[in-house]
Amino acid sequence: HLDVEDIYKAPIFRKSLDLRSSDFGQSTLQMFTKLRLTEASHASRCSTCAIITRPPEIIACVKLATSYSDIFIIFDSHPRPEHPDGAAFIFLNSIDVAAAYLANLLKYDDRLLMDSSVQWQAQLLAHFSAHIFCARNALGTAAELTEATLEASLDVLNLRARVAELETQSKSLTQENERLNEDAARLEDEVAELKDRQRKDQVRIRALQQEHNRSSTSGSTGKSATVYTSSTSRDVKGKGTYATIARSHFAASSSAGSSRSAGVNDLSFAAVLQMQADELNNVDNSYAASLQRRFDDEDQQLKKQLHTLRQADPGIFECNVCFEKYNEDVVAKVDICGHRFCRDCLREYAATKITEHRYPITCPTCMSEKGRKDIGGMQYGKFIEMQMAAFSIMLHCRKCGDSMFVDRGEYEASEIIACSRQIEIGGPKHSCDGSSELKHLMNERGWKYCPGCQTPAEKISGCNHMTCMSPGCNTHFCYVCGEGITNSTKQQAISSAVSAHYRKCHLFEDVAS
């Protein structure tokens, strides 16, 4: 619920009520007796109300302004053992009686304050706050009520406008995020394309440079006019090479004394250029193909090496119990939930639960049920006994001294005709197995049965929330009324069920020995 100060800020309450004082203290009889309800009522000559808050409880205590006697009214919105059907008004005739009722209603365990390990949220259960209000004398005219209604309406409209503004901002921000994501994806594609183009250009440049180096070292200048000749002026496209070859061919033709015409020389020059260009293109294509094959071979080798490394290094995982890091070859994985632990931690956890006679054994992280593990022979025998106890009963024969499991249904349906043991006259009802005598003793001592498996339970100390430790049961029940609360193993479900039950029952109560 909201804080009392926040509720008081509403126009309808601010116009009709006046906050006189605030009291804070521990939930004791002395502190509730010191509440300034009577003083505030005499000072204002009107009825007063104390709004008492003790998380998660909030209770109203009203002091009626009467001339003949003190009348206190306590409004409790939660069901209690005195009024189990719901909210109730409790009428009391003195401040002492009202304080005693509040102290009993909001009582707490003294050990919460003495235990330093308890969190401060739990220690808040021992403290309360009381806000004392009086009715305003001037309230009552239609104009003032209309003004209060108008202020409340304006506040509601302002809040709605703020909500609409926030929704618009959220929508625009969502659209902007989508646009930015699209731009980022487009830019990433462009960067990848540019990198690929740059890589191809670098490969081509390296190929041309290597071809130029080979032609410079292995070429011969005097054997033929069509042989590659070195040229210091050669650029990337090879124009200088073409010019040098053309001049050599032309000089060779002139020195031979040929009588070719100018047209024939032009055709020869063009043919030489075309042949040289075709040869360079073939060299470029073959070199690019060889580079691609080399790249593919290296890529396959790298993939094989990566696969080998992954097999040699299985990976690292963190144990959810000891939080140490181990190789995956020592992992122990829970089948149901998939949580992983080191084998030592999980083996020790399973052995501890079996020693505590807890069944089923649940996952330490998510409380999922898990199967049996390979543990010691003695502990495995205890595990089998706990499984058998879920649907059978162990009987002990006083004659032969042996024990064995019998079916629970057959045991409950069997009737004992005669008993050779001595029956005590005037004592409790006799039973051969002692169950009737045990029931009589439990009624005398105030002990309770577990509503799940009917195992006897005795409360030594602490709260009235009990947990059955019988294998396969795990029932949570109340020691006051004996009612079952839940048999779930989920912590969230247990907390919800306990909170719901103790709204109508007492969590802390002294039990007579």
Residue 252 lies in a domain: yes
**Residue 302 structural domain:** 219-311
Residue 415 lies in a domain: no
> Which of residues 356, 380, 404 is at a domain's end?
380
pLDDT of residue 476: 93
> Which of residues 311, 343, 359 is at a domain's end?
311
Q: Is the same domain home to 329 and 289?
A: no
C-alpha distance from residue 367 to each of 325, 358, 361, 370 (Å): 22, 13, 9, 9
Q: Is the same domain home to 294 and 332?
A: no
Number of domains in the chain: 4
pLDDT of residue 257: 44
pLDDT of residue 368: 46
Cα distance between residue 307 and residue 321, in whole Å: 31
Residues 6+ apart with CB under 8 A from 77: 58, 59, 87
Neighbours of 173 (CB within 10 A): 10
From first to last of the 513 residues of the chain, give the pLDDT tens digit.
Answer: 667 877 777 777 777 787 888 888 877 888 888 787 777 777 777 888 888 888 778 889 988 887 777 788 889 888 888 888 888 998 988 888 888 888 888 887 666 666 666 555 666 677 888 888 888 766 566 777 777 777 777 777 787 888 888 888 888 898 888 889 888 888 888 888 888 888 888 888 778 777 777 766 655 444 444 444 333 334 434 444 444 444 444 444 444 444 444 444 555 666 666 676 767 767 777 777 888 888 888 888 888 887 777 666 667 778 888 888 877 777 888 877 778 888 888 888 888 888 888 777 888 887 644 444 556 778 888 888 777 777 788 777 767 778 888 888 887 777 664 555 666 666 666 666 667 777 888 888 888 889 888 888 888 888 889 998 887 788 999 988 888 999 888 888 888 899 889 888 888 875 454
DSSP bridge pairs for 49: 62, 133
Using alpha carbons, select from 322, 328, 324 the residue that is nearest to residue 346: 322
DSSP state of 475: -
Residue 402 lies in a domain: no
Count helices and strands (H / E) in the chain.
Answer: 15, 17
Cα distance between residue 335 and residue 329, in whole Å: 16
Q: Which two tokens stand for residue 8?
A: 């008081």
Residue 368 lies in a domain: yes
Q: Is the same domain home to 105 and 128?
A: yes
Residue 104 lies in a domain: yes
> Which of residues 360, 380, 400 is at a domain's end?
380
Q: Is the same domain home to 295 and 363?
A: no
Bond preceding residue 360 cis, omega within 30 of 0: yes
Q: Is the same domain home to 135 and 8?
A: yes
Residue 201 lies in a domain: no
pLDDT of residue 477: 92
* SS3 (DSSP) at 4: helix
Q: Which two tokens stand for residue 245?
A: 């070859």
Number of C-alpha atoms within 13 angstroms, CB side, residue 368? 12
